[in-house]
A and B are shown apart, each in its own frame.
Chain A
Amino acid sequence: MKSIILTYVTASLLLLGACASQPQNVAELEQARASVASANQIPMAERVAGAELEQARDQLQKAEHELANGDDIDKVRYHAYLAIRNAEIVRERAAERAARDKIASAEAERNRVLLTARTDEAERAKQVAMAQGRDAALARDAAAAALAEARQMEEQLKALKAENTARGVVLTLSDVLFETDREELLPGAYPAVDRLVQFLDDNPERRLLIEGHTDSTGADQYNQALSKRRADAVRAALVDRGIDTVRLASRGLGEAYPVASNNTAEGRQLNRRVEIVVSDKEGKFPAAAKRGS
């Protein structure tokens, strides 16, 4: 009986101790105070987790009350724990929101960079297009200039009564420009020589091949020599007027290349002539020009 009574008393005192004796330091409560205080410091806490923040404050208040009232310490711990968890949730939500805000601004920045890059690219493309446009304009101008040059040359050659033959551009000075059996140029040849000088001045890259021809009258050797002297006379007239000798080649072809019959006076007159072959722009004569000698 006595031991039963003692047991009961002990049990009651233990219960009393469990519920009533309040240690001033409850670890959970300390932590809850700190957690809630720091949650209160978070500027966007109210906005991102208002309900949880309120819960945290309420639970902490309950725990403080229970401690002050000398309530069950487990109850104090319980409410303190809930306060801690709610405060932690507030902290996590705020951190998440901060991260999401940064994501939004990083994405905005990314779009801005992309837009800038595209704008720059478009600008570069525009400049390239403009540069190409300029190149095209230059090319057009060059082509037009080349065409004009070609037309001008055509005009000049026409004035020289030049012909486009298989041997290239060939012009012919007829024998009436020379005295019979003589190589001196008659004054009547000067206009033709002046036009040649003009042509050579305008087309500095071109060279001339001057060929003398005779009819079949007389000895071959004589005719060859005479044709050479006449060609040289034309060459000398051009050199006298300032044309560089290196641009002028001459040769005598005698009676080997008649352009008409030697049986008639008219034919023989056509055969007595000086032909002038014009080089291409590179100063070369087409292969077909190279005949004789």
Chain B
Amino acid sequence: MKQKLLTILGLSAAIGATLLSGCATSSEKPTRQLSRAESYIEIAQNQGAQEYSAVALQSARDKLTQAKRAADKGDHEVARRLAKEAELDAQYAVAQTSRMQAQNSLREVQSSLETLRRETMRSTVN
């Protein structure tokens, strides 16, 4: 019985160790990835993402915070992934902000075109 148990224990330990090594590959703190995420968040803020893409921007900030916490705990692989996700969130916030700003400009230009058309129509009739 004890023999059997030890076998299971050994097997499990071996599998567990293999899986552990498979899951956690990175060893270094992802400093570069963290600062990239931070830079993109700053770019998004400067572009006005707070107004146009608040959800994505907040997600980026939250993930960066979590990434830093994980890095502090030495959980480098988790930190790296969270930082990368934060970067993509921030990039998406930038893209969404630019798109909405462009669409706002389009509406303005179209309405000024309409106004112009009405005015010239009137002056032509006169």
Contacts and interface: CB of A to CB of B under 8 A. Distances in A.
Given A82-B84, A110-B113, A12 B12 contact: yes
Given A13-B12, A15-B20, A110 B116 contact: yes
Contacts of A150: none
Contacts of B88: 81-82, 85-86, 89
Given A78-B81, A110-B113, A113-B120, A103 B13 contact: no
B89 A109 contact: no
A117 interface: yes
Interface in A63-87: 71-72, 74, 78, 81-82, 85-86
Contacts of A93: 95, 98-99
B105 A81 contact: no
Q: Is the interface of A mostly helix, strand, loop or mixed?
A: helix
B31 interface: no
Contact of A95 (B92, B99, B105, B123): B99
Contacts of A92: 92, 95-96, 98-99
Given A12-B15, A19-B22, A109-B113, 9 more contacts: A8-B9, A12-B13, A81-B85, A82-B88, A88-B95, A88-B96, A102-B110, A106-B109, A110-B112
13 contacts: A2-B5, A9-B12, A12-B12, A16-B15, A16-B19, A18-B23, A85-B92, A93-B98, A96-B99, A103-B109, A117-B124, A120-B123, A120-B124
